[in-house]
Structure formats: C-alpha cells, structure tokens
Structure 1
C-alpha cells in the first residue's frame, strides 16, 4: 500500500492571474467573425493581389475624368499626323508608341489608346456594378422569400426563375438595345445606352443570385435562432430582414465579386457587336470591334483592350475566390 502523495494547492495548479500576467490584452481578447475572416483573407496572397488590382481599377474609373484633365488626355482627339495615310496604320513601331502616347494610337484616326482605355474603364465598371446591384437586389429578395415561405410561394418564384433562365439572353439584349438606340424614357445618347445595358444585364441575371439565396434560406429557416424568433412572436418580414438576411451577407458579397466580371464581359460583348456603348464614346468592347479590321497591320491595338478586360476579370475572380475561402470557415 503506497502512501498518498501530498501536494500543496499552489504547486498543484497555477492561479489564473499568474498564467495571464505575462500576456498582453491583445493576446487574450476574442476576435469577431469579421476579424477572423480578414486574417484568413490576408493569408491568401493571390487574393490580396487581386484585391489590390481591383482597388486600382476602381480608382482609375472614379478618377478617369480628373486624370484626363491633369495629363491633357483627350480620348476623342484625332491625330492624323501620327497615321500613315496609305496604310491607315500608326507611324513608327509597336502601334506608334511614344512618350506622348505610351500605348500607341489607333489606326485610321490616331486617337490615343491610353486615354480611351481610361475612358472605357468607368463605362465598364458603371454598367457591371449597376447590373450586379439590380440583379442582387431582385435575386436576394425573391430568393429569401421563396426559401423561407416555401409552398406555393416557392413554386411560383422558382418557376419564374426557370422562365428567365430559359430566355436567350444575348439575342434578347441585342433586340432591346438595338430598338432603343434613338431615345426612350427621356434619355438619349450615353445615359440611355448605359441604362439599357444595366437593365438588360441585371434584370435577366437575377435568377442566378435568387437560386443561391433560396438554397441558403431553405437551410437557415430550420435553425434554432429562427425558431426562437418565431416563438417570441416575430412575424415573417421581421424574420426575413432581421434574422435571415444578416446571415446571407457572405454569399451575397462573394457572388457579387464573381458576377461583376461576368457583367463586364457581357457589356464588352454587346459593345463588340455594336449594340452596346456607341462611338465616339470609348469602351473596351467597342475598341475590340474597331481593332478587328486592323489586327493584321496593327495587332497592338487589339492586344491592349483585350488585356484590360483580361486583367480586370481575372482580378475580380481572384478576389472572389479569396473572399469565399475567408468567409466560409469550412472551406479549409
């Protein structure tokens, strides 16, 4: 029989104050979900690089007019002296690149490509952001209503989504944009073209967001916090906008960053086909449309706007992937 081992309380366990005495306050305080997501996002260097590029593109679009004014850039100024009248190609090598025109000039008219790239940046982002906002609002509201109420409400909204998804969107967009070229709703020119593109792209793309939000709402409506709100007498609108929507911010933010580049490509495609932004207003798709006729004598004219679209879409996609991984704790 062994004798019991005697231990003093001070030796058996350390007091909490002694354990925490050497730690700083920042080392022991808890982190919010936003702080945790930010820490996860910062670890993804590729996503951070994509976010930096996106911020630079947004600044370029917002400050496009001041930049043009400060540096004396005119996207519609003709420089016929820089174009060979026989070949209709820029004089010199690499598309007429020079200190005055770092990205060269257009064939035929000699307009500065850098100025038109900067001018086209705000057009693409305004159309893509406006269309994304419209589709997100419609898709979120209808999707959360369908997922929460279920029954015949879910059936009607789901069939409406299927109907919109069955539309040949490209042909429909071409027909609407072409029929409203003169003027409509008191708008003319560039404001009309931008409004039409935002409506066409956003109004017919809301089912994609709606399906995602509906699926999330179907899962969330069975959670304990929703049952608790109901037991306290909360009505449907309160549960929708106070309980469900705050838990849907993550998928909305992530899908928005992935939908914006899709809308940029769609706007560029419509402008390339001649039914989007009309000349002389610069747009990346319109520049590609013009470059098709000159790619053999001046390939650089096609490469620059193509790279602008490529870098923008890639940056938004990388940012969206990083946000998805940061906001979803089960992703890693």
Structure 2
C-alpha cells in the first residue's frame, strides 16, 4: 500500500526541516484510519533521531485543593465540587520522605507541585517551599528538582533558581488564543508565558505542555504544539482529559486512543527534540493501547501516580520501558 502523500511530505522532518503550520494542519485534517500507523511510525523515527532516550519522573502533590483559579478540567479548583482530599502545604519532613522513596526506586527526577495561583512575592509559604527544596537537595543532591507552584514574578523566579530548581512546569494547556474559553478566566495565558520567560532568564529549564480532550479542535492542538515550539522549552508533558465529577467537563465524551496517538505523533513532528511526556490518562484512557502510544514519539513518562489520580507502579513502568527499547533504533 502506498504511503499517504501528506506523510511522505512530512519525512522532511527526518532531514532536519521544520514542519510548517500548513503541513501540520494538513496532517491533522487528512490522516485517518490505517494512515495513523504510518504517522506514528514516522514520529517514532523522528524521536529516535533527535530526542534523548526514555526518561521517567515522579511527582508529589505538596498542597492539594482549594485553588482560587477556575480551570475547567481541574479537581483542585475551589470553584468546583469534587471529592478530592485537600490539605495545606506539606512539611519539609513529609516531602523528604516522599523524595527518598522516589530516589530509592531508581527515579532521578522529582516533581514538587502545589495548588493555587502562585507567588508574585516571597510570602511565608513561598519561603517554606524554598527551605524544603534546600532540604531535599542537601540530602539527595543527585535528585533533579522539578517545581510547579503557579504564576511567578521576576523576583520569585530568581529566588527559585537560587534554590536548586532544575526545571519548572508551566503548561499552556491548549491553543493560547482560546485559553480563556477552554481553560480559565481567573488568570491569563500571558501570565504563564511571562513566568516562563522569567525562569528562562535565570537558567531554569521549562516543562510546558497541555491537555487534550477539552472539546478543542485539531487546529487547536496544532497551535498549542507550535506555541510550545516557539517558547523553546525543554520538555512537553501531555495529558488526556479524565472527566472528573464535579468539574464543568465531567460529561465530555473521552477522545479515542487513535486520536490520542495521532496527537502525540503530531507533537513529535512539530517538536523533534523535546522531551515529550505522557502524563495523566495514560493508564485509564489508553489501557491496552499504551504500547502503541509509547511508539508514537514519546520519550518520557510520569510514573507512580498523578496529582489526584493514581497511576501504575514504578516497577511496572520500568519493565515497560525496558521492553519498549526493543522497538527503538539502535544507538546512533
């Protein structure tokens, strides 16, 4: 069977060319059915050619719920009536115990995450966070610290950079032009982009991705992928919506595994060298198709659970990654 001309044209990415917006939109609109497998195959080749080997990370929800922001998908928003556990900022001792467990499992990237708008000034809580990060680094200096605590100012970004933060997570979530419509209107996507630029100024790497299945179009997914490329970030985590009871999106129909795989493949073609990570939705949405998805251009996964939903064990995922290696191109 002859390869679809749209995919044949996209092979230019393997030669180092940038996939244009028009070509990405043509793939999004014109690739269906069996052609998705060819698109996945190309994305996996691009990953093997340009991206680093598979990496894993684990995160800790260090402050849960009662968030003042109204993100439509989020169980932690105080605007929604969900049944999650809520608690204030964990102590340094509690965070250290979790970090030790991650380190002992063989994972070397630890995500520290809190709910809330963020910190434009160094409040007492923000200073407690800095002390906690110092404590983790002092005991486990090989553990890379990835932090996600919301919107920052130049001042608080600089202070985080001075306290051992390797990477910061700040997701665009969707097409920036539709952020207020699809995500939230209590803050803006420009607030997020400013935070990213502040952190980059101080040498902190950025993890910036989003969520699919919100009711967005294929064009929105392409625009998000291109916006992430333009921000020149290092990592891009992608989540698949899990419609949580009590949120405005609780009745949305989940997107198909084929559409998830196609989305990830497009993200890889648009972002050949980034650390493309599958986060929430991997186990619950993809189920028997997890292996297919991991061959669609991904080179990172979140293991051991998410903020308010459980995931697979670290041991299961380590075995999974080892078996996936048989499908990768030999070391270049």
**TM-score by shorter chain over 0.5:** no
Q: TM-score range, shorter-chain basis?
A: under 0.3
TM-score, length-scaled by structure 1: 0.20
Of structures 1 and 2, the larger Rg is shown by: 1
Higher strand share: 2
> What TM-score do the two structures reach when normalised by structure 2?
0.20
- Greater helix share, structure number: 1
